[in-house]
Amino acid sequence: MQRVCFQMELIPGREAEYQRRHDEIWPELVAELRSAGVRNYTLFRLDTTVIAYAECHPDAATAFGKVASTEVDARWTRWFSDVLVCDAQGAVARAEAAEVWHLE
């Protein structure tokens, strides 16, 4: 199991829409996340900064790679392109944090 933490940025003024869309999260996306091995996935927001935490089995690359290969994730990602800051290729811009310490 690998714990991951990463940061994304919202387009200023889109905070309420970001929340609304997560209030209505698609059950099929949740099912894909669980099936792929993503657990304890939590999003925190501070102004336009979103901080994500997840526990991934067996690791983040495998779990999120499985999710990324699904049709539902492709639709979700497209749907969020007007809410999240994206890079030049259209992918959500994110910065991963290094784990320093953990208390079990």
Give the range of the structural domain holding residue 85, as residue numbers without chain letter: 2-97
What integer pLDDT is reported at residue 104 of this predicted model?
87
Q: How far is CA 35 from CA 4, 38, 59, in A?
A: 17, 7, 13
Choosing from 3, 22, 34, 78, which is the catalytic residue?
22
The answer to whether residue 102 sits within a structural domain is no
The answer to whether residue 14 sits within a structural domain is yes
The answer to whether residue 53 sits within a structural domain is yes
The answer to whether residue 104 sits within a structural domain is no
The answer to whether residue 9 sits within a structural domain is yes
Tens of pLDDT along the chain (104 residues) come to 999 999 999 999 999 999 999 999 999 999 999 999 999 999 999 999 999 999 999 999 999 999 999 999 999 999 999 999 988 777 788 899 999 999 98
What integer pLDDT is reported at residue 89 of this predicted model?
76
State how far the Cα of 55 lies from the Cα of 9, in Å rounded to an integer.
21
What integer pLDDT is reported at residue 26 of this predicted model?
97
Q: How many structural domains comprise the chain?
A: 1
CATH of the domain at 46: 3.30.70.100
State how far the Cα of 63 lies from the Cα of 67, in Å rounded to an integer.
7
CB 72 within 8 A of CB 28: yes
Active-site residue 57, yes or no? no
